[in-house]
Amino acid sequence: MLRPEDVIGILRERGEIWDTAPGLVGLRGPARELMERIALSLAGLAREETADEWNVPAGIDFSTLERAQYFASFPQWLTAASHLSDDQSVLEGIAGSDSPAAAARNAMDRPNAALSPAVCYHTYERLAGHRVTSPTLMTAESVCWRHEGNRLAPLERGWAFRMREIVCLGTAADVEGFRQRWIIRSSAFAESLGLTVEIVQANDPFFAPTARGKAALQRIKALKHELIVRFPDGRPLAIASFNNHEHFFGEAFGFSLESGEIAASGCVAFGIERWLLAVLAAHGVDHATTELGWRTNTPDTIGAGLR
Amino acid sequence: MLRPEDVIGILRERGEIWDTAPGLVGLRGPARELMERIALSLAGLAREETADEWNVPAGIDFSTLERAQYFASFPQWLTAASHLSDDQSVLEGIAGSDSPAAAARNAMDRPNAALSPAVCYHTYERLAGHRVTSPTLMTAESVCWRHEGNRLAPLERGWAFRMREIVCLGTAADVEGFRQRWIIRSSAFAESLGLTVEIVQANDPFFAPTARGKAALQRIKALKHELIVRFPDGRPLAIASFNNHEHFFGEAFGFSLESGEIAASGCVAFGIERWLLAVLAAHGVDHATTELGWRTNTPDTIGAGLR
């Protein structure tokens, strides 16, 4: 198992990874292709559970996050999409400025939408007020945004990152059965990629200095496990999480079972860049694709001009 | 050919499309699957030109856009990613607020990154200061953001939308040859999808009230054509554009040919949601997939609870 900084160092040197801002990375070459293969495999795995795949919108309404008690739970992560004022004189001032980037950064309107912090909020929003059969399942992959300040690290913790989720709504038993099934299925998939994994109990990093935050934390009582790999220094990297939110979102969004009872919900989430990092660290940057028996379409050499 | 509002009306009624904010739409069911098929076909078409596919970062540095004279050219579209202050007291104030969404919207920091307005800026940024062989080609699909105020319309003009681009750098002749080749190739692909298309000369919607904007417009002199379909009322929808930027970006970013001469550049861009809209309008919402000979994995019925 390589250290993550060694993996990133090799990829950087080859021009296969780069950043445009802290936490925003690009990929090309064999590493990119490997990530796409992993993403496709996870999509295939999700389809064994459900054919209902969504392309969720790139952003989400602030009111949906408020309803989910997101601001009491994880305000530190919130990222939003802002645009410039429609006011012609503001735009002219920026267009004519000698430092237009700085002028623009200072002239953003209040944001109209949040960037999705997770895929599953879209499911709760769409289901709000509806009755569902048990189990009701969906899956989606989407770019998610969580600002983690100076904890950001390439592939390991992105400001923007790709997440595959599978969401289950239904009876308490259906949701917990779904979660247990995915603990087993995800572990088997990780092992098929040559990863040595563990399942650990985990807690969401709730923001709890306020009474409201503590109350949300108490109420959500999420039963959470994570699938982790360990780097050589013993540090864990969570590559998937298995969450049972019980009736928290059913109550918040008013979705119920056909019996009229509030529905339970749970979700399974895979951080796709982290799977790439785990596979590269386990097999080495040069051999991951061949050891997995995957062929690559990408030319081995990346044009020097593009390094 | 259906009217776009009729296509959207049918999709909405079936629960296959929804919005979370103006210009931010989600898709599920057969329409989503059709869009993925179109996106895959465009990716395959791009690979006939180049094996160098990038996953570009989700955001881009303001300084890159400044270097590209974006603020003089299209400030009206600019969208950026902002996060909340790291200040614990600000976060506590939001977490404890009775209206946390409103409190958060009022407490965003200045943005640290712009959301990509187009894929090709990432290429210019990566190539800045480098020498390249002619032609140097890359392709990527990414979510792009352009705020178009009250012109936003589902699938037709999104605040966020998916764009497939192919970028070419090289000699003037290589770039213009690339552009001409893609005019033909894209038209043939559209016709293979049963679309009736035209090629028209077009202009970028430059923001030109300032002297700086006018100067940028003069200097860029982009040779631009678009591939359009027409709705029943004659209104055109551009589904691809073919752009020759001559030496504009080569000068701005200092990339040159092996001879030392400034490189020319051009790009071809496909708006994926617009291709979906064009195909649905041309074939009808019920028959598009079967008329194209594409099978669908998606169940015909979407659970009523998820409408």
Residue A303: band (very low, low, confident or very high) from pLDDT cuts 50, 70, 90: very low
**pLDDT tens figures, A35-62:** 999 999 999 999 999 999 999 999 999 9
Residues A171 and A257 in one domain: yes
pLDDT, residue B303, reads 45
Lowest mean pLDDT among A37-41, B4-8, B219-223, B262-266: B219-223
Contact B299 A51 (CB under 8 A): yes
Helix boundaries (H) for A147-271: 172-192, 211-220, 248-253
**d(C-alpha A103, C-alpha B193), whole Å:** 45
Residue A246: band (very low, low, confident or very high) from pLDDT cuts 50, 70, 90: very high
pLDDT, mean of residues B151-171? 97
Considering only CB atoms, B75 lies closest to which of A21, A84, A132, namely A84
pLDDT, residue A203, reads 80
Q: Which residues contact B254 (CB under 8 A, 6 or more apart)?
A: B128, B129
Contact A307 B19 (CB under 8 A): no
The domain that holds B234 is classified in CATH as 3.30.930.10
**pLDDT tens figures, B115-139:** 999 999 999 999 999 999 999 999 9
Where b means 16+ CB within 10 Å and e means fewer, B36-49 reads ebbbebbeebbeeb
Residue A252: band (very low, low, confident or very high) from pLDDT cuts 50, 70, 90: very high
Residue B300 has pLDDT above 80, yes or no: no
Contact call for residues B209 and A95 (beta carbons, < 8 A): yes
**d(C-alpha A157, C-alpha B55), whole Å:** 17
Considering only CB atoms, B78 lies closest to which of A54, A84, A88, namely A84
Residue B209 has pLDDT above 90, yes or no: no
From B212's Cα to the closest Cα of chain A, the distance in A is: 6
* CB contacts < 8 A (A, B): 297
pLDDT, residue B304, reads 40
Contact call for residues B82 and A79 (beta carbons, < 8 A): yes
**pLDDT tens figures, A186-202:** 999 999 999 999 999 98
Residues A201 and A244 in one domain: yes
Q: Which chain A residues are Cβ-neighbours of B307 within 8 angstroms?
A: 130
Residue B223: band (very low, low, confident or very high) from pLDDT cuts 50, 70, 90: confident
Contact A95 B212 (CB under 8 A): yes
**pLDDT tens figures, A82-122:** 998 888 899 999 999 999 999 999 999 999 899 999 999 99
pLDDT, mean of residues B19-42? 96
E-state strands within chain B: 17-21, 24-28, 54-55, 59-60, 79-83, 113-115, 131-132, 136-145, 160-170, 198-201, 223-230, 236-246, 256-257, 264-271
In A187-206, the residues whose Cβ lies within 8 Å of chain B are none
Q: Is A51 on the interface with B (CB under 8 A)?
A: yes
pTM of the model: 0.94
Residue B29 has pLDDT above 90, yes or no: yes
Q: Is A260 on the interface with B (CB under 8 A)?
A: no
Residues A207 and A252 in one domain: yes
pLDDT, residue A73, reads 86
**d(C-alpha A145, C-alpha B20), whole Å:** 16
Q: Is B302 on the interface with A (CB under 8 A)?
A: yes
Q: Which of A136, A157, A114, A128 is nearest to A54 (CA)?
A: A136
pLDDT, residue B135, reads 97
pLDDT, residue A18, reads 97
pLDDT, residue A43, reads 97
Q: DSSP string covering A64-98, please?
A: HHHHTTHHHH-GGG-EEEEEB-S-HHHHHHHHT-S
Top pLDDT among A38 and B305 is at A38
From A110's Cα to the closest Cα of chain B, the distance in A is: 6
In A210-239, the residues whose Cβ lies within 8 Å of chain B are 210-213
pLDDT, mean of residues A151-166? 97
How many domains in chain A? 2
Residue A218 has pLDDT above 80, yes or no: no
Q: Which chain A residues are Cβ-neighbours of B94 within 8 angstroms?
A: 71, 75
Q: Is A80 on the interface with B (CB under 8 A)?
A: yes
Residues A103 and A238 in one domain: no
Q: Is B290 on the interface with A (CB under 8 A)?
A: no
Residues A20 and A43 in one domain: yes
Domain range for A34 is 4-79+117-306
Residue A297: band (very low, low, confident or very high) from pLDDT cuts 50, 70, 90: low
Lowest mean pLDDT among A8-17, A157-166, A232-241, B296-305: B296-305
Q: Is B43 on the interface with A (CB under 8 A)?
A: no
Last residue in a domain, options A64, A98, A115:
A115
| Closest residue on chain A to B93 (Cα) | A210
In B134-153, the residues whose Cβ lies within 8 Å of chain A are 136, 138, 143, 145, 147, 149
Last residue in a domain, options A115, A135, A163:
A115
pLDDT, residue B229, reads 98
Considering only CB atoms, B55 lies closest to which of A26, A60, A115, namely A26
Contact A52 B302 (CB under 8 A): yes
From A32's Cα to the closest Cα of chain B, the distance in A is: 7
E-state strands within chain A: 17-21, 24-28, 54-55, 59-60, 79-83, 113-115, 131-132, 136-145, 160-170, 198-201, 223-230, 236-246, 256-257, 264-271
pLDDT, mean of residues A206-233? 77
Output the six-digit token pair for B188. 């043939």
pLDDT, residue A300, reads 45
Last residue in a domain, options A68, A95, A115:
A115
Residues A94 and A213 in one domain: no
Q: Which chain A residues are Cβ-neighbours of B207 within 8 angstroms?
A: 91, 95
Contact A57 B211 (CB under 8 A): no
Output the six-digit token pair for B61. 């540095």
Residues A29 and A10 in one domain: yes
Q: Mean pLDDT, chain B, as a whole number?
A: 91
Contact call for residues A181 and A44 (beta carbons, < 8 A): no
| Closest residue on chain A to B143 (Cα) | A58
Q: Which of B303, B283, B301 is nearest to B293 (CA)?
A: B283
pLDDT, residue B218, reads 61
Contact A75 B61 (CB under 8 A): no
Give CA torsion, residues B154, B159, B165, B169, to 10 deg. 150
Q: Is B65 on the interface with A (CB under 8 A)?
A: yes
Residues A30 and A170 in one domain: yes
| Closest residue on chain A to B273 (Cα) | A55
Considering only CB atoms, A62 lies closest to which of B65, B81, B105, namely B105
pLDDT, mean of residues B273-279? 98
| Closest residue on chain B to A155 (Cα) | B57
Residue B73: band (very low, low, confident or very high) from pLDDT cuts 50, 70, 90: confident
Considering only CB atoms, B126 lies closest to which of A52, A213, A306, namely A306
pLDDT, residue A113, reads 97
Q: Which chain B residues are Cβ-neighbours of A302 within 8 angstroms?
A: 52
Q: Is A57 on the interface with B (CB under 8 A)?
A: yes
Residues A69 and A176 in one domain: yes
Q: Mean pLDDT, chain A, as a whole number?
A: 91
pLDDT, mean of residues A181-190? 98
Lowest mean pLDDT among A289-303, B11-25, B147-161, B167-181: A289-303
